[in-house]
Amino acid sequence: MIKIALILAIIGHILCGVCDALLTYTPNGKLGAKDAKDPGKMAELFKGTPLRNSLLSMVLGTLAITLFGFGYLALSYWMKEYSVLASNLMLIASVTFLVFIVVHHVICGIVEWLFIRMDLKPESLEAALDLQKKTIVTMFVGYAALLVFVVTLFVMIVSGKTSIPAWGCIFNTAVFMLPLAATKLPAKGNIAGSLMFIGLLILI
């Protein structure tokens, strides 16, 4: 059963990466962090972008997070055989991560939908960014919970307390994010998550 959950997690992370790309890439280029401060550049970037992109990202992103959620929850229960404390910690972190990150993903979609729906006007950008700014805590809490999960998993594996060999600790989102962070690849977190679950699928 855990194998099925891990496969679903791989599919979920890949799908979520696609949904991230729907929000990041427009017909006129890639959205950058600095672009949000320039209403003119934002209007140019999103000119001609269909509303369905943000809507698809929200709906499919929620499905994607649900799919990879099975993997995180399955790993939490799998860990119970080796440590009840680590298992409970991973379970709490998993639930927190999944709840907050799905909210954050939907809000990101709403922000872009509002900007496009309100004709790319400066005031619409200001309203959209104000919503994002006031709800950014969902991202911080979500990723903090993910960090707790992956660090716990890493420590348990590298210390030899699970059935996975110690070297298997490399199959971890945090480990993969180190080299990926220096690249220009899109959806880095989902790439790292996919690689983690692929490795664990082989080793468990």
Q: Is the dihedral of CA 73, 75, 76, 80 positive or negative?
A: positive
The answer on pLDDT for 74 being more than 90 is yes
Task: Identify the band that residue 71 occupies on the pLDDT scale cut at 50, 70 and 90.
Answer: very high
pLDDT at 25: 87
Q: What is the pTM of this model?
A: 0.92
pLDDT at 44: 87
The answer on pLDDT for 119 being more than 80 is yes
pLDDT at 83: 97
pLDDT at 154: 98
Q: Name the residue ranges covered by the structural domains of the chain.
A: 2-203
Query: What is the rounded average pLDDT for all residues in the chain?
Result: 93
Average pLDDT over residues 49-75: 96
pLDDT at 31: 78
- pLDDT 10s digits, 127-182: 888 999 999 999 999 999 999 999 999 999 999 999 999 999 999 999 999 999 88
The answer on pLDDT for 27 being more than 90 is no
The answer on pLDDT for 11 being more than 90 is yes
Please choose, from the candidates 182, 8, 174, 2, the residue with its C-alpha nearest in 3D space to the C-alpha of residue 93. 174
Low-confidence winner among 39-48, 63-72, 95-104 (lowest mean pLDDT): 39-48
Cα distance between residue 71 and residue 35, in whole Å:
35
pLDDT at 68: 97
| Whether 150 contacts 170, CB under 8 Å | no
